[in-house]
A and B are shown apart, each in its own frame.
Chain A
Amino acid sequence: MKITVNLFANLRDYAPAGQRPAEVSLPGGATAADLLSALRIPPAVQAVLLVNGRRAEAAALLADGDEVTLFPPMEGG
């Protein structure tokens, strides 16, 4: 299945070949955690994770066509 990934700020470094947004192919049944490892984002790197605009946990199951957004926690506003 194909997942669209938006990476921001310093997480942008993990975009495959600098794609924007990135397209990642994953086997059916993959989770957000699988996506993070496919992108080689180390577990120690903190990230806010959204699937289709809703907050999700790393264990969340992904579906074909999902849009995932990842950005570092930030103090902002």
Chain B
Amino acid sequence: MHGWCGTILRVDLTRGTIATEKLDPRVARSYIGARGFGIYYLRKEVDPRCDPLGPFNTLIMAAGPLTGTAAPTGARYVVTTKSPLTGAITCSNSGGNFPAELKKSGIDAILFEGRAERPVYLWVDRGRAELRPAGHLWGLTTHQTDEALRRETDEKAKTAVIGPAGERRVLFAAIMNDRDRAAGRAGVGAVMGAKNLKAVVVRGEGEVALADPAGFKAANARYRDAFKAKTKDNPPPLRTHGTAITVVGTQSHGVFPTRNFQQGTFEGWESIYGETLTRKYLLRAKPCFSCPIACGRVTRIPDGPFAGEGEGPEYETVYALGSDCGVDDLAALTKANYECNELGLDTISMGSTIACAMELYEKGLLKESETGMPLRWGDGQALVELVRLTARREGFGDVLAEGSLRLATRYGRPELAMVAKGLDFAGYDPRGEQGMGLAYATSPIGGSHMRGDPAYFELLGVPTSVDPHTWTDKPPLVAKWQDLFCVIDAAGLCVFFSVRYLVEQNLMVKPVGITELLNAATGAGYTPEEVERAGERIFNAERLFLLAAGFTRGDDRLPPRIVSEPMPSGPAKGMVCRLEEMLGPYYELRGWSAGGGPCEAKLKELGLL
């Protein structure tokens, strides 16, 4: 095969066996890769009603056909499993260098089944795989684990590991690859920990075979040149300031979540946004594999109580550990970010859970006798301390480790968890950004911005601007973009480049550039319409898993704060999210019944019957 390696690794952790299987070319064509392979194997092999932390859940790591190629941003992989945080599917996406290394080792995907009796890690050396004992690594941070593993395997190997948080099954533990890149959302790290799988280490020296090398090279050069021409005199804000520049877009529209979504503007925003980060702490920009943008941040806090060095913060972290907790101390939230990376936690859910605890505390529902410390808005020291406690489930951290919804439910106020389907929102308040509300509510994994991110057209002017306050126009746009994001994730590309250069620059975002690169890499001869259809297939297949896991239309909802408490101030003052008015039209145009399930005709059309 070309683009695809054609090899799936099946690791049975209970038996300690490893088998290689051929990738079915029909599956490859229909599901493209990465996120598509994730849902294909999850539906095929995992009982949607299983215990996410039990041996019958499967953890799937999958790359796309463009991962590991020279395609711009061909760096991504997706981790798919049943989430212990939400009980829904989760598919969490990450870049760095590990995913490309997996492809260079000749592997498209790894399926981890069962549960090892004792800690192990998987070592894949140029396609040969073996399970090795990992007892000596248990308890180490992600950075320590990465260093130890490269010492005992190959200095050039790439790693995806869990830290203490994953080992202790913190329900929003991340899988960290290349030290500081995270497949972060909805507890993929806890599933790895429950399987006693500490790490995956890969070394590959091969090249991804291309169906049409000359055509690929030409298309690649053209898209990279277009990027260079556009950014020659104006470097992309993402390179200069990182994703934390996005604060400008959210704060100025009044949708920058503040104090657990009680407000949409944060008075301390200038202290924590991208330009301040650049000025105060940036050492250098860091690209993922084959990326011309380089939005990654290597930063250092030179002195003071939060001194340290690491990567981040990104925008979502600046919101979650910053404005959402009322923290305007960039050093404190950056330090909390470093701790999350090293202990293996999702910064979004960590911050959102602390914000929820702070609101419960401020409302008198949570007492200092239970928390062990005052939890006042803006307390940077408490923020860092709570991250450390949560990762090791010590003291009040054991309560936080269960996530915001269980925390708020425990104290009698479940509506104070800012979640959809139990997954914490990203950094956009849907009251002033209607499309984002629909995207959160209908995302198969819950409150994620990476399932058709409407912030592009509602806030950030990409590819063009749409009024964020209108709702009747949003259902078709959200559906279209959700399907597009499936395609980008399945191909193994990053959204940041793809949305700007590899799709037609209008709101219908036809994936012409992605199709061209896919065809040159795989020889599949897709039309853009077939690629779009594959995206729709992936989205609907994820929906089917969700429904089979017991979710219904009633779960496509947002907290009362978002749908019935008007935004108190700022540019979105007086607004609520008009979710109910968007859901009906959305289901209809998706070909779903009023109950929220894909109709038979739609399933037939997508080959999902």
- A residues in contact (CB < 8 Å) with B: 6, 8-10, 45-48, 50, 52-55, 69, 71-77
Contacts and interface: CB of A to CB of B under 8 A. Distances in A.
B99 to A, nearest CB: 20
Contacts of A48: 249, 459-461, 465
Interface in B220-243: 234-238, 240-241, 243
Given A55-B467, A55-B468, A75 B253 contact: no
- Nearest 4 CB-CB pairs, A to B? A53-B571, A76-B246, A73-B461, A48-B461
B570 A9 contact: no
Contacts, number: 91
A71 B252 CA distance: 10
Interface string B459-495: 1111001011100000000000000000000000001
A74 B468 contact: no
A71 B249 contact: yes
B453 interface: yes
Given A69-B248, A75-B495, A77-B428, 12 more contacts: A8-B237, A9-B241, A50-B571, A53-B253, A53-B254, A53-B570, A53-B571, A55-B468, A72-B237, A75-B238, A77-B246, A77-B453
Chain A interface helix/strand/loop/mixed: loop
A27 B326 CA distance: 40
Contacts of A69: 248, 252
Contacts of B427: 77
A74 B465 contact: no
Interface in B288-312: none
Interface in B516-556: none
Nearest to A75: B496
Nearest to B458: A55
A76 to B, nearest CB: 3
B460 A76 contact: yes
A75 B509 CA distance: 14
Nearest to B501: A75
Interface centre among B426, B461, B497 (most CB of A within 10 A): B461
Interface residues of B, number: 42
Interface of B: 234-238, 240-241, 243, 245-246, 248-249, 252-254, 275, 315-316, 426-428, 449-450, 453, 455-456, 459-462, 465, 467-469, 495-497, 499-500, 570-572
Contacts of B246: 74, 76-77
B318 to A, nearest CB: 11
Nearest to B293: A75
A53 B460 contact: no
A53 B467 CA distance: 11
Interface centre among A48, A54, A55, A75 (most CB of B within 10 A): A75
B252 A46 contact: no
6 contacts: A48-B461, A53-B252, A53-B570, A53-B572, A71-B248, A72-B461
Contacts of A6: 252
Given A48-B465, A53-B571, A74 B252 contact: no
B532 to A, nearest CB: 20
A32 to B, nearest CB: 13
Given A53-B570, A76-B243, A76-B246, A10 B252 contact: no
B474 to A, nearest CB: 15
A77 B252 contact: no
Nearest to A9: B237
Contacts of A10: 234-235, 237, 240
A5 to B, nearest CB: 12
B243 A46 contact: no
